[in-house]
Structure 1
Amino acid sequence: MKESLFPAKILLFGEYGILKNYSGLSIPHNIYKGTLKIHSELNKDILCSNYEIKKFYNFLSILEKKKRILTKLDLNKLHQDIQKGIFFHSNIPQGYGVGSSGALVAAIYDKYAKNKLKGSFKHNIIILKKIFSQMESFFHGKSSGIDPLICYLNKPLLIRSKTDISIIGIPKKNEGKGAVFLLNSGAPSKSDTMIKFFLNKLKHDKFQKILFVEFIKYNEKCIEAFLKEDFKILFTNVKLLSTLIFNHFRFMISKNFWKIWKNGIFNNIYYLKLCGSGGGGFILGFTQNYNLSRIKLKKYTMEVLFRF
């Protein structure tokens, strides 16, 4: 069976905003990846993965019967492979906001789509996003489609709206004092619970104003500054984002991280923000002094994404 590897993803900016058609910046993260395999020997993880794919197959079959599916998949072949013991061999942590379900969706599409689209053209990217949004809704109830899109294309994406998505270049990594890093909370998140909480909060006018005015403004400035490598402007706005998230999205931050989140804001050593839906999993960190941040956060597992 030919193996195609699909990476994890990191949504640097745009958490929740992209669900409401605002900007985001997402990158593949090839430290974590997954591929479809036929088992040579059974164990608990393989059986669980195979069972999850079977449930996904049932979901796709229902869509096909109702003629609602947005792409043609060879579901007969998928069913045969499920019987043979197909599973998703992956080191992508589940529930950590780095696209474990997105990578699986990308892998299923890549292997079983009858008229597979490539991402060379902007028009195809938009169609793929719609397809992936529908497919990944099985896992989260509601999906933007961005995670599987990143995993499938393996390219950084700038999301301006649902119909304006482009492959872009990002700043090159170097060995400066600053860094963007992942902080491991030590516990997975339930994305569907976080998304439902967010959508319920949106019913309140005060929260809508916070999101659609302040959050979006800081988010846009962070994306622009990051792409221009203007780190002074970036850190000014990451601090504002971190503060806003702490004040208004605190339910989405693990309680044992409230203190270090607040310490970062007051000490200006590092700033933390959500990585994906929040509620656990990874947290994103931004610092202009990584060595000092590592000392301050020595109790926690840290993983560098960029140095600058």
Structure 2
Amino acid sequence: MKGPLFYAKILLFGEYGIIKDSKGLAIPYNSYQGALKKSKKFTTKTKESNKNLLRFYTYLASLDTDLVHFNLDEFKKDIEQGMYFDSSIPQGYGVGSSGALVASIYDKYAFEKITVLENLTRDKLLKLKGVFSLMESFFHGKSSGLDPLNSYLSIPILINSKDNLEATGIPSQKEGKGAVFLLDSEIVGETEPMVSIFMNKMKNEGFRKMIDEDFAKCTDACIDDFLHGNMKSLFGNVKNLSKIVLDNFKPMIPQRFHTIWQKGIESNDYYLKLCGSGGGGYILGFTKDFNKTKTILKDYRLELVYRF
């Protein structure tokens, strides 16, 4: 048995903002993927994954909901026969490792599942998001459901608000100098503590005002520019966003990256922003000249996401 591949995802824009109902843009990231497999011989990694699937099975079996029903007998039988999730997606890196797992379980075991081949109306997207939110809460305590949705559909998704999602197209890549890239912090991040810090900060009126007025508006402008291919305007807005994040989200940025974050803003060679909840994992970067940025940041591991 080998299940279909489900890819990683990158939330290009909208981290934290989507918690407060502003816009977001998520895209699939095909460099990493995962699939359900079976094996009679366990390694340490596959054994741990198999145990994790059993815990997930127990969680799904305990759900009291009419939103979704699973073929739990088959799921349990497959686990007993050595099923595991074979994944290259790094965990704790903000690229949706649990999302791909959730998508693969829904795909294989959900009754009356919504498929990618259907006409994906807003209602269907919202229903899927609700199902995935319920499922992924097992991993994060609270989940928006967006990571599994992106992984399952493998298409860019524009989040206009909590109740308004749409599949979208992004400009095709060009062989230009510019790029969106990932910078590896080499630190595993945890979502829950970062979200707790954010929710505590939201109790402060000044912080709330900054989110509503500066952060959300800047994020919306970045999304608009990116979708319409307005690269000149995009870089101005991404620079502003990079400054806002550095000034207001310092706990989410690992200490040793504060200096290179600031250097990017001052030199205009590149701009950094959070990828997911922060605290480690990947940092997202934007540059007009990827080769130059690779030289400047030669001490760090960079991965290309998108060229323009």
Question: How is 1:31-46 mapped onto 2 (pairs within 5 angstroms)?
Answer: 31-46=31-46
Counterpart residue number, 2:153: 153
The equivalent of 2:48 in structure 1 is 48
For 1:171 and 1:186, the matched residues in 2 are separated by 30
Instruction: Give CA-to-partner distance per residue, 1:215-252, whole Å, 9 cap, x none.
Output: 00000000000111111110111111111111110100
SS in structure 1 at match of 2:303: strand
TM-score (normalizing by structure 2):
0.97
Question: Which amino acid letter does the alignment assign opposite residue 55 of structure 1?
Answer: R
Q: Helix, strand or coil for the counterpart of 1:160?
A: strand
Q: Deviations over 1:157-185 (max 9, x none)?
A: 11101221111111111111111101111
In the alignment, structure 1 residue 81 sits paired with structure 2 residue 72: no
* Residues 107-142 of structure 1: CA deviation (Å, up to 9, x unaligned): 010000011112432221110000001111111111
Percent identical pairs in the alignment equals: 50
Match of 1:215 in 2: 215
**Partners of 1:118 and 1:124 within 8 A in 2:** no
**CA shift for structure 1 position 195:** 1.2
Question: Where does structure 1 differ by over 6 angstroms across 4 or more consecutive aligned residues?
Answer: none
Confirm whether residue 108 of structure 1 aligns to residue 105 of structure 2: yes
2:120 alignment counterpart: 121
Residue type matched to 1:103 in 2?
A
Quote how far apart the aligned CAs of 1:68 are. Answer: 2.9
The question of whether the paired residues in 1 share the 8 Å contact of 2:2 and 2:35 is answered with: no
Partner of residue 5, structure 2:
5
* Corresponding residue of 2:231: 231
- 1:260 is aligned to 260
| TM-score where L is the length of structure 1 | 0.97
Tell me how far apart the structure 2 counterparts of residues 54 and 196 of structure 1 sit (CA, whole Å). Answer: 28
What's the CA shift string for 1:243-290, capped at 9, x where partnerless? Answer: 111111010011111111111011110000000110100110001111
Distance 1:57 1:200 in 2: 33
Match of 1:249 in 2: 249
Q: Secondary structure at the match of 1:8?
A: strand
Mapping for residues 175-190 of structure 1, pairs under 5 Å: 175-190=175-190
Displacement of 1:2 in angstroms is 4.4
Match of residue 30 from structure 1: 30
Distance 2:8 2:236 in 1: 28
Question: How far apart are residue 305 of structure 1 and its match?
Answer: 1.1
Output the CA distance in 2 between the equivalents of 1:77 and 1:189: 34
User: 2:262, 2:299 → 1: CA distance?
Assistant: 16
Which amino acid in the other structure matches residue 164 of structure 2?
D
Unaligned 5+ segments in structure 1 are: none
Please tell me the residue identity of whatever aligns with 1:256.
Answer: R
Contact kept in structure 2, 1:60 and 1:69, CA below 8 Å: no
CA shift for structure 1 position 40: 3.5
SS in 1 for 2:300: coil
Q: Displacement, 1:206?
A: 1.2
AA aligned opposite 1:50: N
Q: Provide the C-alpha distance between the structure 2 equivalents of 1:156 and 1:288, rounded to a whole number of angstroms.
A: 22
- Residue 198 of structure 1 and its aligned partner are, at CA, apart by 1.1
Indicate if the aligned counterparts of 1:14 and 1:219 stay in contact, CA closer than 8 A. yes
**Residue-pair matches, total:** 305
Q: Read off the aligned partner of 1:110 and give its amino acid letter.
A: D
Give the corresponding residue for 2:163. 163
Distance 1:2 1:184 in 2: 30
What is the DSSP-based 3-state SS (H/G/I as helix, E as strand, rest coil) of the residue aligned with 1:144?
Answer: coil
